[in-house]
Structure formats: C-alpha cells, structure tokens
C-alpha cells in the first residue's frame, strides 16, 4: 500500500503551500492599490488613512508582515479580513460548502453527459449524432457563460417560470446548517420538500457551469475512445464474441479513461476555485465571488486565504487523480 507515497505527497503539499503563500503574499503587494485607500475611497482624510493603515498593520515592513502571517498560518489561523475584521477561515468556510455543492453538481452533469456523448460519438463516428454532439460541444466551449446563464434564467425563471430565479433555497426554508451543503442538510433534517426545492435551485446554475466542462469532456472522450477502439485487444474482445456493450464499456472505455480522468481532475479543480460568473448571475453565495471581491478591495488576508485553500484543493485532486491512474491501469505502479 502506498502509505509512504501518500506521506511523501502530503509533505510535498506542505512545501507547495508554503511556496504559494510567499508568492501570493509578494504578488498581492506588487499590485497597485492601497487597501486602506480603496476602503475609504475619495472620502478619506489623511488622518483616517493613517489610522486605518496602522490598524491593518500595513505600516510594518514586509518581512515582519510575512513573518507574522506565517506564524499565524502555522497555527491554522488564516488572519482577519482587512475589510471587516472577520476571521478569514470562517468567511471561507461559510462559502466553501456552497461552491463545493455547485461545482460537484456541475461536474456530475458534465461527466455523465460528456462521457456518454463522447462514447456514442466514438462508436458512431461521423454519424448525425456525432456531428451534432461535436457541434454542440464547440458551441458550448465558445458560448459566454455569462450570456448563457442570463438566457437560461430569463427562459426558465421569468418567461416560463418553472425554476427559481436565484439563491440556494426558498426564503424561510433553510435547514439547520450542519454541513453547509443544502441538499445534504435538507436530507439530514428529513425535509423532503426542502430537498426538492434546493435541487430546483441548483438546476440552472449547475447546468450553466457544466456547459464548458461537458463540451471538453465529450471531445476528449471521443478522441480517446477512437484511439482505443483501434487497439488489438478490442479486436480480440470482439473476436471472442463478447457483447458489444461489454467491449465498449469494460474494455474500451476503461482504457480510454486515463486522459479523461486527467481532464476531470483539472476541471473539478477549476470549478472548485470558484465559478465567479455563475455565482454572480445566480446570486450563489460561493467562494468565487468572495475571492474576486476581496481582490478588488485588496483584502490581502482574504485573498491569501482563498488561494491557499484553492492550492490545497488542487493538490488533493491531483493526488486522487494519480491514485486513480494506478487503479485504472495496473501497469502504473505507485512507488513508496
């Protein structure tokens, strides 16, 4: 068992996060814009600015600021938001669950539909389905998410109001926030109607967010499957008289999955890093909006905290993808 491998990867993660913290710390301070001045704007007096800078600790030399930040970070403290003094860890935690729920829902839609479309296209290349699927994939990749989201909202929430306009659940129906995942919390609370309502609220933003990864996954699946279907072992499987569905799904798809898993991991990482446009359109209270608002306000602690969380998420996803490779392909061994 690759426990030694896992331990090594976790150690690497620590070094990666340290490096990320330093790079982000420096880069943020290179961007023009003083947080105190941005907060106070054109109505700031010199005294107000000086007072706020002192309160924010911006008067200290950079090495001292970084040292203090690192000291707190090693104790699990991501610092305090420069905008409102709230603990950054708490601010992120409140929003991370919303982003996870949306990203996972979008990836599930993109994965199932994308792989299905890619497999069918590869099995029937240059057919009407294949042409239509790949054309839709091209449109999906090219279409601005912002426009798509507003159109879906207008069509299905205003014009023909079958779905809710925004938010995660209807007003007054929020369950007790045990996990922060609305679907799970409503199930745990035994509120079936609230669960369905939360699901309805998830549809439009998840479909909007799924469009681009769905298109990418469909195209990657198709090309990977086309390559695998030419292999000798597939011809052998067919020659042995195996059912075509067994040949496609068990033999071909499994071997085509490596590049697909890579793309899945990359896309999931991107979605979890915050789908700011989708979150903005659908008023989804996720991390994407938070990190962009924090960046615009030069809220250093909040941006640093968010990026560290994103880096950790991406590192974990990469680790899972690497382990999946070994599970999918016995020829790949994990060396401790």
Residues that bind another protein (CB under 8 A): 32-34, 37-49, 51-52, 55-56, 83-86, 91, 94-95, 150, 153-154, 157-158, 161, 165-168, 171-172, 174, 280-283, 285-286, 289-290, 293, 298
Nearer to another protein among residue 2 and residue 180 (C-beta): 180
Using CB atoms within 10 Å of the CB of residue 215, give its burial: 0 to 12 exposed, 13 to 18 middle, 19+ buried. Answer: buried
For tokens 């994103």, the residue is: 310
d(CA 140, CA 67): 46
Nearer to another protein among residue 16 and residue 40 (C-beta): 40
Nearer to another protein among residue 160 and residue 239 (C-beta): 160
Closest CA to 47 of 32, 36, 60: 36
Least CB distance to another protein at residue 82 (A): 8
Least CB distance to another protein at residue 151 (A): 10
Least CB distance to another protein at residue 47 (A): 6
Least CB distance to another protein at residue 16 (A): 28
- What angle, 0 to 180 degrees and rounded to 10, lies between the N-to-C axes of helices 62-73 and 300-328? 50
d(CA 270, CA 274): 7
Nearer to another protein among residue 41 and residue 144 (C-beta): 41
Least CB distance to another protein at residue 158 (A): 5
Nearer to another protein among residue 52 and residue 260 (C-beta): 52
- And the tokens for 38? 């941005």
Give the contacts of 317 (CB within 8 A, at least 6 positions apart): 265, 268, 269, 272
Nearer to another protein among residue 150 and residue 234 (C-beta): 150
Radius of gyration for the alpha carbons in the chain, expressed in angstroms and rounded: 24
Least CB distance to another protein at residue 304 (A): 18
Strands (E), 51-115: none
Closest CA to 27 of 314, 309, 298: 298
């Amino acid at each position: 068992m690759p426990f030694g491998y896992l331990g090594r990867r976790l150690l690497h993660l620590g070094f990666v996060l340290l490096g990320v913290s330093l790079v982000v710390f420096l880069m943020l301070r290179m961007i023009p814009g003083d947080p105190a001045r941005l907060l106070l704007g054109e109505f700031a007096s010199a005294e107000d600015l000086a007072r706020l800078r002192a309160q924010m600790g911006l008067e200290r030399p950079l090495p001292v600021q970084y040292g203090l930040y690192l000291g707190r970070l090693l104790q699990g403290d991501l610092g305090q938001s420069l905008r409102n003094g709230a603990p950054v860890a708490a601010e992120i935690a409140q929003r991370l669950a919303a982003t996870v729920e949306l990203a996972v829902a979008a990836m599930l839609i993109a994965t199932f539909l994308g792989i299905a479309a890619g497999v069918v296209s590869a099995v029937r290349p240059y057919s009407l389905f294949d042409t239509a699927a790949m054309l839709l994939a091209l449109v999906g990749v090219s279409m601005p998410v912002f426009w798509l989201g507003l159109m879906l909202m207008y069509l299905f929430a205003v014009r023909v109001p079958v779905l809710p306009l925004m938010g995660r659940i209807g007003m007054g129906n929020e369950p007790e926030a045990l996990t922060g995942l609305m679907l799970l919390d409503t199930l745990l609370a035994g509120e079936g109607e609230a669960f369905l309502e939360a699901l309805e609220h998830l549809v439009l933003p998840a479909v909007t967010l799924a469009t681009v990864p769905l298109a990418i996954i469909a195209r990657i699946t198709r090309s990977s499957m086309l390559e695998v279907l030419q292999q000798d072992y597939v011809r052998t499987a067919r020659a042995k008289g195996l059912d075509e569905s067994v040949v496609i799904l068990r033999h071909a798809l499994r071997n085509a999955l490596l590049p697909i898993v890579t793309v899945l991991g990359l896309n999931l990482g991107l979605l979890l890093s915050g789908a700011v446009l989708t979150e903005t359109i659908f008023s989804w209270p996720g991390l994407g909006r938070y990190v962009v608002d924090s960046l615009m306000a030069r809220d250093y602690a909040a941006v640093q905290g968010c990026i560290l969380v994103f880096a950790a998420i991406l590192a974990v996803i990469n680790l899972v993808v690497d382990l999946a490779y070994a599970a999918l392909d016995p020829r790949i061994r994990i060396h401790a």
